[in-house]
Amino acid sequence: MNNQVDSRHRSSKRYTLLTGATGLVGRYLMRDLLLKGHKLAVIVRPTKQQMVRERIEGILQMWEGTLGHRLPRPVLLTGDVTKTNLGLSSQQLNWSEKFLDQVIHGAAVLKFQSASRELEPWKTNLGGTQNVLDFSKRCNIRDFHYISTAYVCGQREATVYENELDVNQTFRNDYEVSKFEAEQLVRDSDCFESKTIYRPAVISGDSRTGYTSTYHGLFLYLRLMAMLVPEQTKNADGVIETPISLPIEGDEPRNVVPVDWVAKTICHLVRTPEAHGRTYHLVPDQCTSAREVIEYCYKYFHSDGVKFCGANSERTADSELAEKLFENTSIYESYETSDPHFDKRNVSRFAGHLECPSIDQEMIFKLIDFGKQNRWGKEKESSPKVVRWIESHLTEIALAAQKMMGALRINGTDRIFKFGLDIHGPGGGQWQLLANEGRFDVTPGLPDDASPVLKLSDIQINDLLMRHDSEEIDRSRTENPKVAINWTEPLETVITENPQPNQ
């Protein structure tokens, strides 16, 4: 008997929770998983300006603009990973326990230094990971995926292998230690069938468009160059002179990977069960050297003048330009002289067909072009445009479905009828509607595979709603005065009083 209950329960547990969906990696991962038809829930915090649904809608509309077609919408959970039970309401928690099967935890704070372990990045990276693990245990999550970083290796210099973590290494900053300790927590947890760990190197923008939503790492250098180089004087040949002495050899490898490849690879590995349970170094096949990056920038800005003085030389500013550059990149100083070799045999074995685009001249040009056009992050993301949030019209949809079922005589007192509503595009979402003896329950998320799913675009559903809006709905309301659907919270389950059949 228990087994029967368990397997029925399990069959409804088909949703994957993604944390960090508004971040750089997360927004690509959300797009790629939705494109593959993955049933996805995201946990997001509101900002001062935008509610959770607007934040996610804005990102998805950006993707729809570039893809040229509509995407499904994930189930939205409002929460914060630094809080117990991720700050979810009791309804959201119940929903999670019932429907979540897999977690991809990517939320983190990329702040390097901290005054105390009570503050960031510890609060989110370590405390948040512990909360996500506790929550996952509570929800009986089977399959856990964690986005770590290649730099949990700290200051190691030789080859780093995917199966290694703690080898008594030293670290450069609190961020590395917080991610190292968080990965340790994930590895030590014993409540999952499998744990898969992704360790990306430094992540740059999109290899095809240059897009980014954050300006850390390589982008910080590119932004500084784009700001400082044009201010310098040109020599007689029209070349901008950038006299800087760098305390590096120039041949130091740079482990940088484009975000679209990182997300595509994680998406593939998440969806490949035989790849689960391993650690993956998401690193380039061939590193770009510091000298190459600088030479590409010379070409872009039509400039020259950087000297490589060797790793043992001093980091002394011999010009105003150098002073500004050093001052603004001091957080990365300890990364400038070395970058280890990361062995990536697990990636080659399970995702070798997804070739990692190298950071070449063309890509550096795209990254700088995007940064300039986006005013290095100052350009405001446009607000989403939504004709109707379908979530606010589920009463009408339920009534219309009820009426139709009445006409088809399928809602007799002993009949239970369940169907899914999968509305793609602006304002859309996924719900399951359960009609049981004349009463409707609406739950976020699609039903299991056996139930029919009504898949419509926002245009189609808006058209239907507009036609129903006027007299039809008014009539249904008066005919069924006791039907009331209470959507005070996004995840409120509908509890309706029984309407009189065939009234």
Ligand X SMILES: NC(=O)c1ccc[n+]([C@@H]2O[C@H](COP(=O)([O-])OP(=O)(O)OC[C@H]3O[C@@H](n4cnc5c(N)ncnc54)[C@H](OP(=O)(O)O)[C@@H]3O)[C@@H](O)[C@H]2O)c1
Q: Which is nearer to ligand X, 17 or 309 (CB)?
A: 17
Q: Return the range that interacts with ligand X (CB under 6 A); candidates 76-84, 137-145, 268-276, 433-441.
A: 76-84
* Binding flag, residue 304, ligand X (CB under 6 A): no
Nearest 10 degrees: CA dihedral of 385, 390, 393, 397?
A: 140
Rounded to an integer, what is the distance from CA 484 to the centroid of its chain?
A: 36
In angstroms, give the least distance from the CB of 234 to ligand X: 34
By CB under 6 A, tell whether 26 contacts ligand X.
yes
For 432, the 3-state DSSP assignment is: strand
Stretch of 7-15, 21-29, 92-100, 422-430 contacting ligand X, by CB under 6 A:
21-29
As to burial, measured by CB atoms within 10 angstroms (0-12 exposed, 13-18 middle, 19+ buried), residue 40 is buried
Contact in structure between 468 and 396 (CB atoms under 8 Å):
yes
- Residue with smaller CB distance to ligand X, 128 or 210: 128
Distance of CA 201 to the CA centre of its chain: 17
**Using rule CB under 6 A, residue 202 touches ligand X:** yes
CA distance 488 to 458: 23
Cβ proximity to ligand X, 280 vs 431, nearer residue = 280
Query: Nearest to ligand X by Cβ — which residue?
Result: 23
Please work out, in degrees rounded to the nearest 5, the angle formed at the alpha carbon of residue 447 by the alpha carbons of 444 and 452: 125
∠ CA 32-358-125, rounded to 5°: 55
Instruction: Identify each DSSP E strand in 23-157 by its residue range.
Output: 40-44, 75-78, 100-105, 143-147
Q: Is 203 in the site for ligand X (CB under 6 A)?
A: yes
73 or 179: whose CB is closer to ligand X? 179
Rule CB under 6 A: say whether 25 interacts with ligand X: yes
CA–CA distance, 452 with 420 (Å, rounded to integer): 6
Contact with ligand X (CB under 6 A) among 54, 64, 80, 479: 80
Question: Nearest approach, Cβ of 124 to ligand X (angstroms)?
Answer: 4
Looking at this protein, which amino acid is placed at residue 222?
Answer: L
Residue in 20, 425, 427, 447 binding ligand X, rule: CB under 6 A:
20
- 121 interacts with ligand X by CB under 6 A: no
Q: Return the range that interacts with ligand X (CB under 6 A); candidates 19-27, 69-77, 233-241, 360-368.
A: 19-27
Q: Are 165 and 184 in contact (CB under 8 A)?
A: yes
> Is residue 220 near ligand X by the rule CB under 6 A?
no
Residues near ligand X (CB under 6 A) = 19-20, 22-26, 45, 80-82, 106-110, 124, 128, 147, 149, 179, 200, 202-203, 213-214, 216-217
